[in-house]
Amino acid sequence: MINRSDIRTNGFLRFYKQIFPAPFQFTLVVAFSLVAALSFGAGAWVISRTIDQYLITSMTERVSRDMRLAQAFYADHLKWIEDTTARLANDSQVLSFFQADLTGKKGQTTSDFQTYLSTQMRGLFDQGNHVVVVVDQDGKVKGGFLLEERNLIVLEQDPAYSFSLPIVQKAIEEQQIFSATEIIPEEALLSVGLAEKAHIPILDTPRAAPQPFDPREGSAGLALVSAAPLLEKGQPLGAVVVFHLINNDFTLVDRIKTVAGVDTVTIFLGDQRVSTNVLTEQGKRAIGTRLSAEVGEVVLYKGESFVGPAFVVNQNYITRYDPIYDHQGNIVGILYVGASQERFMRLLTAFNRQVGLIALVSLLTTFILAIPVAGYITRPLGELRKLVQTSQKVSQGDLSARAPINVGGEVGLVASSFNTMLDTLQSTQDKLIQSEKLASLGQLAAGVAHELNNPLATILLYADILHREAALDPQHKADLETIINETLRCKQIVSGLLNFARQTQVNAQPTSLNDLIQELIEIEKRHPQYEKILFNLELDKSLPLAELDAAQLREVLLNLIHNAADAMPDGGKITIRTAAKPPGSITIEVEDEGKGIPQEHLSKLFTPFFTTKPVGKGTGLGLAIIYGIVKMHRGQISVRSEVGRGTTFIISLPVKLNLPREHQAEEGLIGG
């Protein structure tokens, strides 16, 4: 009977082997996944903490910015009240009416005074609880108006009440205007009809201090006050007082919130909210609620700003609290701005959820991708095996063997470096064979040249004598001329062989290569061979003096420009360039506009007796001699050419030759 459990097990094993064919592949996948899990987890935690700190910093910077805006609006409003007070105090009509009242002139004069003040009030204030009052030196109200929610109320004189505030007395005594945020006691508020408006019951508030900061909280009023003296001939008669009662007046806090883009704004009298747009759970303004004891300790008792999360009414806010001072420098209240921390926490929670989701998806993706990656990691083992096989072939003498490069990374780099090493070894071996070939050819050429030179001289001598002295018919004379010319050509070939084979000494001296080139071209361009040639010299003026054999370099340049001219039978331009590069070396380029050299001939150019010229036009030894001279100078020579576009020979020579004197004679193509 077939067991279904065994079938499922066998099926799972087959599936497992298909996914993880190598014994260690599963281990690699698990290792990758574990590392990824740790990395993603740590990364998610770091990102979360970083964003948390960033958001807190951003919110703190925002409330600090909001506080600067709120303070600017607050100070601007106080300055506006001060300017209004100064204008009224300097108004001649106000002074004359006040003088009339002091001298006992009543009736129409007082009525005119009230009418004039009402006109001024309607033009100055549009909303809020504003008061303009004129008092004598004892603080008795002589006239004024209350603008309560756009309703203008005349303030009647009442001997029972006095509006004598310290800031008013100071303005009269020092005969100058003073403006500040002041606490107005209940008695003074009664004199202007604002006692009931200023009354705010103290509400129980979580985390508030056991006792109010100021015992007058609940009955007194907080106001932006400005007092200016009324002067007659330098003597104070009384004062003009203008103030804006903050209690239960939300025009200033709402204006700051709307115009400055601040979330919540509150003005405190002591630690009690008297004007705010912070809402309770019932959606009402939190008037009468109190400051938390933690914040009050910092702001009210230490006189410092509080910045950071704080409990406000019934929830946490990112806040800033700054103390408000009266004209004597005493703390009378607080200006607050804040943003709800709940919105910040929602943003942070959403972000953390996204980070966690991304980490989970990334981990799953890593596990899936780790399967083929683990298989891919095993591929280099096969490439390493092929590399070992290639090295075995090389050790057996097969320098043509090359390792296949089918993968990247370190294995591919090793294979590439191994092949590069073999290429270098092959090139070095080829150069060594070439040098040995040149040496053998040099020895052979030396022997042949010496053996041929004397017979050729004899043939040339007797042929020349016969040509000049024998009475021969024209046909025989023409034959003798042919013998002489061909003999001269043979001597030229023999001379080339001797130059190629001779043991040459490098007489290196500090030489200006630019001067050598200019002198050479100045002489050569007069020859008929170069009458159709334009020489273009691009010489580097910063070229240093180089240690070289001037005579040998002149021979190199002559041979190159001669070859260039031969490549342009119809004329053209030969460009010679010099450059001080690479560091410690100088470079010479000889470029023509000739027919160019086929690519298959480039590798043979420096081989003795190889030439692309027609028969009888060259020996094939010129470039071989150039090659030998350059090598004796520890230099390099190369060529680039394009058929139909021209050819350029590039020679690189060291600035310092550094040849030991005892070895200078051993740098030829053949040994001594």
Per mean pLDDT, which range of 120-129, 327-336, 520-529 is the poorest? Answer: 120-129
Q: Which amino acid is at 473?
A: D
- Answer whether 162's CB lies under 8 Å from 140's CB: yes
Task: Place 443 in a pLDDT band, splitting at 50, 70 and 90.
Answer: low
- DSSP characters for 344-382? HHHHHHHHHHHHHHHHHHHHHHHHHHHHHHHHHHHHHHH
Instruction: Copy the structure tokens of residue 334.
Output: 């607080």
Q: What is the pLDDT of residue 226?
A: 95
Nearest partner of 66 among 307, 411, 292, judged by Cα: 307
Q: How far apart are CA 327 and CA 166, in angstroms?
A: 9
Mean pLDDT along residues 549-555: 86
Task: Spell out the domains of the chain, with CATH numbers in brackets.
Answer: 57-345 (3.30.450.220), 403-502 (1.10.287.130), 504-666 (3.30.565.10)
Q: How far is CA 654 from CA 447, 517, 559, in A?
A: 34, 17, 21
C-alpha angle with apex 632: 631 to 638, nearest 5 degrees?
Answer: 20
Residue 585 has pLDDT above 60, yes or no: yes
Q: How far apart are CA 198 and CA 275, in angstroms?
A: 11
Residue 580 has pLDDT above 50, yes or no: yes
- Answer whether 435's CB lies under 8 Å from 602's CB: no
Task: Place 10 in a pLDDT band, splitting at 50, 70 and 90.
Answer: low
| 218 or 96, which is more confident | 218
Q: What is the pLDDT of residue 211?
A: 92
Residue 293 host element (H or E): helix 293-296
Mean pLDDT (the chain) is 79
| 34 or 109, which is more confident | 34
Task: Place 404 in a pLDDT band, splitting at 50, 70 and 90.
Answer: confident
- Answer whether 366's CB lies under 8 Å from 25's CB: no
Q: What is the pLDDT of residue 158?
A: 62
Residue 670 has pLDDT above 50, yes or no: no
Using CA atoms of 285, 287, 289, 294 in order, give the dihedral in degrees to the nearest 10. Answer: 80
Q: DSSP alpha helices (H): ranges in 90-165? A: 92-102, 108-124
Residue 135 has pLDDT above 90, yes or no: no
% residues pLDDT > 90 (the chain): 28
Q: What is the pLDDT of residue 672?
A: 30
Residue 152 has pLDDT above 70, yes or no: no
Mean pLDDT along residues 134-141: 84
Q: How far is CA 557 from CA 553, 650, 651, in A?
A: 6, 11, 10
Per mean pLDDT, which range of 158-172, 240-254, 347-361, 496-510 is the poorest? Answer: 496-510
Mean pLDDT along residues 257-265: 87
Q: What is the pLDDT of residue 295?
A: 92
Q: Which range has the top average pLDDT, 155-169, 214-228, 407-421, 471-485? A: 214-228
Q: What is the pLDDT of residue 160?
A: 60
Per mean pLDDT, which range of 34-38, 197-201, 222-226 is the poorest? Answer: 34-38
Mean pLDDT along residues 520-529: 86
Task: Place 644 in a pLDDT band, splitting at 50, 70 and 90.
Answer: confident
DSSP 664: G
Task: Place 647 in a pLDDT band, splitting at 50, 70 and 90.
Answer: very high
| 60 or 660, which is more confident | 60
Residues 6+ away with beta carbon under 8 Å from 34:
none
Q: How far apart are CA 197 and CA 181, in angstroms?
A: 18
Mean pLDDT along residues 246-257: 92
Per mean pLDDT, which range of 274-283, 310-319, 410-419, 438-447 is the poorest? Answer: 438-447
| 395 or 427, which is more confident | 395
% residues pLDDT > 70 (the chain): 76
Please state the pTM of the whole predicted model: 0.50
| 266 or 103, which is more confident | 266
Q: What is the pLDDT of residue 105?
A: 55
Dmax over CA atoms of the chain, in Å, equals 167
Partnered with residue 180 across adjacent β-strands are 225
Instruction: Copy the structure tokens of residue 236.
Output: 């104070």
- DSSP characters for 372-410? HHHHHHHHHHHHHHHHHHHHHHHHTT-TT--------HH
Mean pLDDT along residues 58-77: 89
Residue 578 has pLDDT above 60, yes or no: yes
Q: How far apart are CA 307 and CA 311, in angstroms?
A: 12
